[in-house]
Structure formats: structure tokens, C-alpha cells
Amino acid sequence: MVDVSKLGNDLAEKGKEGVDGFLFDVQPIPGEVEVLQISVENREELPIFISVAGDEILCMSYLFKEEEIKADTKGEMHHAMLAMNIPMPLSSFGKIDEQYVVFGALATSSSLDDIVHEIVTLSDNTLEAIEAMRDYLK
């Protein structure tokens, strides 16, 4: 089992060094489930949330809410998301209640460098996803 506090400290140190030209900050979010909020420099409005469940580290970023979609384009948008799922590296689309997300998952045995790579990739994919879905949003 991954110690989320230790992971948060390790990620915070990596984030100060910068990875692939990106600096990031780590904030623990207290609660029943331990969650880390990762804010990538110049992308703070699109943080990455990390949690651990069983053998999996889940990394997720919120995209937009159901109410932000143009009603007459929702089916077309879903088709576009499905088509984009495969070529989007290390990430997939999902929906939690009324919130659309992009997420990636790693094994708890993943190295710190692998987790950092997922964070940077997911941050890039979040920007690309929002840009690709822009025409479907109000």
C-alpha cells in the first residue's frame, strides 16, 4: 500500500525541481479518502487529483460540468471523446455524477518518475481535451 503522505512529500520535492519544464505544487486534501491536489505552474485552474485505492494510483483532472455542454451537441461530443480516447496517451475520459473528467491510473508499484510523468502527461491531456471539446461547450 502506498503511503499517500510520503508520496505527497516526494512529489512536492520533485515539483520544486521541475519536470519536463514544469514546476508543480502539492497540497494534501484532508478527508475520509486521502487525496493530493497537484497544481502545475501556469495551469493552476486545472489541478490534478491523486488518490490511492487498492493496487491503483488514480490521477484525475476535472474538465467541465454537464450543464456547460450545448444540449444539441452532446451526442456528437461523446462520439468525439470516444474517438480521442485511444490516441490520448496515458489518459481516458470519464464522468463522475455531472462532472466530466480525464484520468489515468498506475500500479502502486510505479516509480516516482512514472507518477510524475503521468502528472505532466495528464496536465497536457487536460488542456488538449478542453481545446478539442470547446465547440461543444456553451
CA dist 137 and 55 (Å) reads 35
Q: What is the pTM of this model?
A: 0.94
67-85 average pLDDT score: 97
Give the 3-state secondary structure of residue 77.
helix
Structure confidence by residue, pLDDT tens digits, 92-136 = 999 999 999 999 999 999 999 999 999 999 999 999 999 999 999
Give the three cell numbers for residue 45: 485552474
CA dist 124 and 121 (Å) reads 5
Is residue 74 over pLDDT 80? Answer: yes
User: Are 104 and 91 a contacting pair, CB within 8 Å?
Assistant: yes
Give the three cell numbers for residue 78: 461523446
